[in-house]
Amino acid sequence: MARSRAIYEYTEAEDKSMRLGFLLIAAGLLSLLGLGCCWLRPALQERGGGGSANCTVLAVRQLGERFACTFSCGAACRGTARYPCLQVLVRTSRSAAPALLHEDERQLRTNPKCSYIPPCARDDQENSENVTYKQKYWKEKVGSQPFTCYFNQHLRPDDVMLRRTHDETVLLHCFLWPLVTFLVGVLIVVLTICAKSLAVKAEAIKKKKHL
């Protein structure tokens, strides 16, 4: 029995391989749990009750109100500038009531009153020009042409998004890489055990031949 136990003891290299495999398995499981609790569940809740529709621009306007944004001009250089509020009102194919268009969910959370947040520049005039350019884009280039927009009747019934932050590709990667890590860990452990088992069987056959 002692001889059998000695045969099945793993070498230092095999022991390191097993530890690496179990480490990858644990990392994959923890990543799945962490992403599921902290990121994936809110993303799915955002998508729940939502869908796509055809949107048509009703009105494009700038409000008199200005909002603050933070610009960066170096490692230790930050400041505050202001930009005008642009609102793009649209009609969707799902509802006759007008809705406020937003770039995506992140922009909606940052400033729910406006449709566009320009890249924050130090100069307020530059921010105003960026907003005016976007206003002309919606008025002249898009006009009355229908385009695809996204909505969520449960969370934001009066708002629609031009694109989703949490699309299918992001959700796929959220599952894919932790799953790949987990499977690689399982594969390393299984291959190490199989290699050891084959080595032990080969050693036993070799000893029988010499008897």
With beta carbons less than 8 A apart as the criterion, state whether 59 and 89 touch.
Answer: yes
Q: How far is CA 105 from CA 138, 165, 167, 185, in A?
A: 19, 6, 11, 36
pLDDT for the residue 170: 61
Q: Tally the residues of the chain.
A: 211
Report DSSP letters for 84-137, one per residue: EEEEEEEEETTEEEEEEEES-HHHHHH-TT-SB-PPP-SSHHHHHHHHHHHHHI
pLDDT for the residue 89: 93
Q: With a threshold of 0.75, does the pTM exceed it? A: no
- Biggest CA-to-CA distance, the chain: 98
Asked whether the CA dihedral 127, 133, 137, 138 is positive or negative, the reply is positive
With beta carbons less than 8 A apart as the criterion, state whether 43 and 155 touch.
Answer: no
Element (H, E) at 148: strand 147-152
pLDDT for the residue 5: 45
Cα(54)–Cα(148) distance, rounded to whole angstroms? 5
Read off the amino acid at residue 129: E
pLDDT for the residue 86: 95
Nearest to 53 by CA among 138, 157, 131: 157
Tokens 């609102």 found at: 87
Per-residue pLDDT of the chain (211 residues; tens, 9 = 90+): 444 444 557 778 888 888 888 999 898 888 877 766 555 555 555 554 567 888 999 999 998 889 999 888 776 778 899 999 999 999 988 777 899 999 988 888 889 999 999 999 889 999 999 999 999 999 988 888 999 988 876 667 788 988 876 555 666 667 778 888 889 999 999 998 888 888 888 877 777 776 6
Task: Name 126's Cβ contacts closer than 8 Å, sequence gap at least 6.
Answer: none
Task: Name 29's Cβ contacts closer than 8 Å, sequence gap at least 6.
Answer: 178, 182
